Every structure is written in structure tokens, then in C-alpha cells.
Amino acid sequence: MKNRTESKELKTFRYLRNRMDLEEKDEKYYHNLEQGYLGECQFDNWLNRLNSSKPIILNDLLLEQNNTQFQIDSSLIERRNLHIFEIKNFQGDFFIEGDQWFNRIGSEIKNPLHQLRRAESLLRQFLQPLSLNLTIEPHIIFINPQFYLYHATPDLPIIFYPQLERFFRTLKVTSSNNQRNSVKVANYLLSHHIEDSVFSRVPSYSFEELRKGVVCEWCKQFLTVNSKNTLVCRTCDNVEKVDAGVLRNIIEYKTLFPNAKVTTNSIFQFCQVVSKRSIRRILLNNHQRMGLGRDAFYL
């Protein structure tokens, strides 16, 4: 009932790293975002195996309870159980000492169990108005087969990659067509989903400091003019239609500057290598114009 898509934060980081030099901490954070999204998509492939029974699956829920936002990577409603999944794409050796988690070289990391328990507690409070007899089943999924955790006890709500097949066999998912209360819960969750997260750690930037041009779709280098109607990448030899490159740049501009108006001049400055006449034509053909003359902008 809710498919997974790249977050605004991830999209923004992808665009920014082509147009500015990220600090080391921001580059590391971006890498973790990419790895996290990859792990979530891999887990989706496991969930998709349940499609024959038409389960209720909700991905990337962002909710708020007591003025506190919390995120649920994946959730599955199965009879009177609501399974929530925190998905981690860690790689390498980790170990637990008491309530602390460490990587192979001994550096402490955030305890994923704390995040899971926090989400479980807030979700339970969030669902109280429905007055339903619903059991929340929390799980941490370590989706990477190259992950190992020392000193983990069997009582922890952890599912390792080799256990996934067995875990999904234990789920007796009932068709959503026969789950009136389950659909009620799902709709309640969806209706309260929040689009913009307070957790975003996108670095500050301005239009003036970003590198301008049309970025190659394949190797992320900047394209140059090849002919009147095409652009070319001198790095990977990719040739692209001017219209396609400009339309992609418009999407990028709107993501990076959501509160700015899309005008012929703003996209011309952002693209650099395409004439203003071509940009006006592309905008007129593909976007709705609002206003006239110098005040015109496009939706």
C-alpha cells in the first residue's frame, strides 16, 4: 500500500555531490544513505515473495507522536500482528558488550536496538486511538550476508541474512481482502505519514556556489555541446538529446531549490551549455506556464 522511493534527502545528496565538494563527514553520511537504501530494496525483494497472499506492506513510514518523529523502514500487517522492520546493511564484524555495540576496530556505534525500541514504543502510543487488539512485533534485519555480530543472544529481536528464508516461512499472511481491521490500521498509518523529516542532514548550499551544467546520466561528469540537438560526455562518450538533459536538470533544480520559481532564466543559468531559446521551448512543451513576460514561471 506504500511503495519505497528514494528520500528527498538522498536525492538532494546525489545532486549536490556532483556540483560541490562535500566535507568528509557529509560524504560518509551520504554513503550510509545509499547503503541503507540498497539494503531496504534488497529486503523488499524478500517481502515481494509474499505477493501471492496479498499482504499489507507499508514502506518508509514517517510518523509523529508526542511531538517526536519516528521512522519505520518496513511494516507488514499479518492477522493481528503488526511487524515492523528496522533494516541495516552493515558489512563486516561487530560485537556487543553489555548495552554497547562496536565495530571490528573497537569504535562504538549507535545501538540499533535503541532505535527499534523507541519506534515500537511511539508506534504503540500512536495506535492507541484505534482501540484494536494489535500486537507489534519488532525486528532488526541485517540484510548483508557479509555481516557478523559477536555475543548476540537468541532473545534479541534480530534476524540475520541466513535466517530470512526460515523467518518468512513462519509468517502465515492472510489476504488483505479478509482483514478489515488490518486495512483500517494501514489507512490510519498512511493518513498520518509525514513527507519531510526533521532528521535531514543535508549541508547548506546556495545557487551561486554550485557547479553549473548538465550532468551525464551515466558517469556524472558534465556534458558538452555535441550538435544543435545533442549533448555529449567526453568521459564516457554518452550522447544525449538536449531535451532529455534539460528536463532532467529541471527535476534536479526543483529538488535542490523547492521554493524557487522555475523560469527560463533560472534553468538557463543552471544548465549553462544550452541556449535560452531552447530552454524556453522545452519548458513550453513540457511544463505549464503561469503568467506572462518577465513574470512567467513554470510548474
Q: What is the tens place of the pLDDT at every residue in 118-134?
A: 999 999 999 999 988 88
Q: Which positions ≥6 away from 254 have C-beta within 8 Å?
A: 262
How far, in Å, CA of 250 to CA of 266, rounded? 10
- What integer is the mean pLDDT of 64-92? 93
- What integer is the mean pLDDT of 288-299? 93
Q: Are 92 and 103 in contact (CB under 8 A)?
A: yes
How far, in Å, CA of 188 to CA of 103, rounded? 38
Position 145 confidence tier, pLDDT thresholds 50, 70, 90: very high
Q: What pLDDT sits at residue 125?
A: 96
Question: What is the Cα 267 distance to its own chain's centre?
Answer: 26
122: cell is 511511539
Question: What rounded mean pLDDT belongs to the chain?
Answer: 92
pLDDT at residue 211 tops 90? yes
Q: What pLDDT sits at residue 79?
A: 74
Q: Are 183 and 191 in contact (CB under 8 A)?
A: no
* Residue ranges covered by each domain of the chain: 8-191, 224-298
The per-residue pLDDT for range 263-276, each reduced to its tens digit, is: 999 999 999 999 99
Q: How many Cβ atoms are within 10 Å of 5's Cβ, its own excluded?
A: 11
Highest mean pLDDT among 70-74, 78-82, 183-187: 70-74
Q: What pLDDT sits at residue 183?
A: 87
The per-residue pLDDT for range 213-255, each reduced to its tens digit, is: 999 999 999 999 998 899 999 999 999 999 999 999 999 999 9
- What integer is the mean pLDDT of 150-165? 95
- For 8-191, CATH number? 3.40.1350
Q: Could you tell me if residue 291 is left (phi over 0), alpha (psi between -120 and 50 degrees) or otherwise beta?
A: left
Query: Residue 49 carries which side chain, given as an amino acid letter?
Result: R
The per-residue pLDDT for range 165-207, each reduced to its tens digit, is: 999 888 766 555 557 788 889 999 999 999 888 888 999 999 9
pLDDT at residue 282 tops 80? yes
Region of poorest pLDDT, from 51-55, 144-148, 198-202, 286-290: 51-55
pLDDT at residue 141 tops 80? yes
Q: Are 179 and 79 in contact (CB under 8 A)?
A: yes
Q: How many Cβ atoms are within 10 Å of 151's Cβ, its own excluded?
A: 11
The per-residue pLDDT for range 12-63, each reduced to its tens digit, is: 999 999 999 999 999 999 999 999 999 999 999 998 887 656 778 999 999 9
Q: What pLDDT sits at residue 178?
A: 54
